[in-house]
Amino acid sequence: MTAAGHYQPNLRDIFFNLFEVLDIERSSLGKGPFTTLDGDGAREALTGLCDFVQEHFAPAFVDGDKHGVAFDGAGNVTLPASFTKALEAYYKDGWNELELPESLGGYGAPPSVCWSAFELMAGSNASITFYILGNFHAKVIEELGTESQKQRYLSNILERHWGGTMVLTEPDAGSDVGAGTTKARHVQGDEYLLEGVKRFITNGDFDQPENIVHMVLARPEGHGPGTKGLSMFIVPKYWVGEDGKLGERNGAFVTNIEHKMGIKASATCELTLGATQPCRGLLVGEVHEGIKQMFHIIEYARMGVGTKSMATLSTAYLNALAYTRLRKQGADLAQAANKAAPRVEIIRHPDVRRMLMLQKAFAEGLRALVLYTAHIQDQVMIAGGYGSEAAKSLDKKNDLLLPLVKGYSSEKVYELLGVSLQCFGGSGYCQDYPIEQYIRDQKIDSLYEGTTHIQALDLFFRKVARDRGETLQALVKEIQATAAGLPDALAGEKAALEQAVNEVGAIFMGMMGKLGQSPYHVGLHGNRILFALAELIIGWRLLVNAQVALGKRDAAPERERAFYDGKVAAARFFCKEVLPGIGASRRIIEKGDLGLMELSDDAF
């Protein structure tokens, strides 16, 4: 498989998770706000989208990397023609309607289906997929905006396919969002004038839509320091009047674009507000709750980044698998002494098989983690939505899982893409195959929307310590219930899962004790804690998959049995090769000290 036709989807495994494991036909479809779409409709939509991205998104993958975006120095960014063509086809065929609720004229698909769709898009071409954020902005404005703001923006975004960005980061603040200095001066009503410079703004400008809606964090005059002093503003590229008509160019201009190692056709911009002409914005909902409001977008972006990483590993693995089935090199190891032994496909070599199963177990395990999290989001919406009392425990579970989806997936996939490349040998290092671009395009995932360590600190302090471990303990009970119900055929795996539960429990208990000495202990071992919990949950979900597969395998058609055998094999491999590492992490964490923090800076 060459880079030009790179994308290898795994629709079969998506359907397995959705319909055989999570059983969304019973648990999600037809319930709450998801009454429009049934199982057949969901299958048809995802199958059609899979065909669409292979025809329109995937062919532009290499072109985007080769040509990138063009910046004219006057605030305007131009996309490669292949990207513009793909985006126009996406909207023309109505694929943007899949994730929209019925209230906005969409299919009303649940998050489990929407994130499955996102996997297909991001796996085929992540750079194009990022240009579709405007669709999500419509949902944010519908939920948080005033009636006037909805009248100005909703129909425009949805019918005219406007772009959208999230604007947080500043050059001197970086990940410390609360240190931002962009200021907002009140004019009248909900209108403000903004001044400041923002950096690393994904798709801060592009020429495909007639307008772009920036969601900007800024500090109104008189408001205090930190994140609590920030408010969120709707800042359009072109001003939108109260009648919804486009007005003059607004004072939000791209003043530079970054030249990057990957996702080169996703414009990463410096956005300057109010420097050359007034930059007007509307206070979202007429309330000063900026960071709380922005987290609607941040959490969507974090889920998207984790899904993007998983999708990249999945297609990388399937590309590597295809190559190893065709490439002949060397004799079978058992015949190595026989100089006349025939050359075999490299999939027959033990180390290659090990590398393939390592990729398979994680690609399918991360998909299981992503779609389990998405299914929790289904249930949140069915129970009344985020913030409702009935959905409170589900909401907390989703919050606990998001740092794992984003932080662990982005870190582990970068490591495993090196394994994918290794399967190709020297050919993988060349641009004849897509693996080298996958590595360059994916590395950003561990850096933006909160670095891995930010995810680790969020997990420990906000998601576990803040509620005294209540949500984590409830999740552990689910894992223990699964272990108790595993069949005899998975007895060894049951023991491995139970041991991993004990190790993770000891890690958190031990760290809570060390926290009394110094928070530096969490700083030094936070990533390891995040990884241990993620691997426990992935192992759990793989064993849930294996249990389902064992129950279906014997009655399945012959062509399906290998698929089910593969699910069991992946779970067994993970339990033998990955879960025991949690015990090693526990011992390292327990023996950890503060020597690094006490060391002189000059010693580095």
Q: Which residues does the annotation mark as catalytic?
A: 449
- Residue 297 Cα distances to 43, 130, 195, 309, 322, angstroms: 27, 13, 22, 18, 37
Beta carbons of 497 and 539 less than 8 angstroms apart = yes
Distance CA 360, CA 358 (A): 6
Rounded CA-CA distance 551/554 in Å is 7
d(CA 19, CA 585): 35
Tell which residue, 243, 228, 260, 213, has the closest CA to residue 437. 260
431 touches 460 (CB < 8 A): no
Helix (H) or strand (E) segment spanning residue 320: helix 290-326
CA dihedral 401, 142, 50, 381 (to 10 degrees): 40
Q: Which long-range contacts (CB under 8 A, 24 or more apart) does 576-581 make?
A: 576/496, 577/358, 577/361, 578/361, 578/535, 578/538, 578/539, 579/496, 579/497, 579/499, 579/500, 579/535, 579/536, 579/539, 580/496, 580/499, 581/535
Structural tokens at position 123: 């796996």
Using DSSP bridges, classify how beta strands 212-220 and 163-167 pair: parallel, antiparallel or unpaired.
parallel
> Alpha-carbon distance 77 to 256, whole Å?
10
Question: Which residues have CB under 8 Å from 575's CB, separation 6+?
Answer: 492, 493, 496, 497, 539, 542, 543
Please list, in sequence order, all residues whose beta carbon lies within 8 angstroms of the beta carbon of residue 351, skipping any fewer than 6 positions away. none
Could you write out the DSSP letters of every residue in 449-489?
A: SS-HHHHHHIIIIIIIITTTTHHHHHHHHHHHHHHHT--GG
Instruction: Give the H or E element holding residue 235.
Output: strand 231-236
In sequence order, what are the beta bridge partners of 280?
193
The sign of the dihedral angle between the CA atoms of 69, 117, 110, 302 is negative
CA neighbor of 235 nearest in space, from 302, 281, 269: 281
**Between helices 350-382 and 409-424, what is the axis angle to 10°?**
150
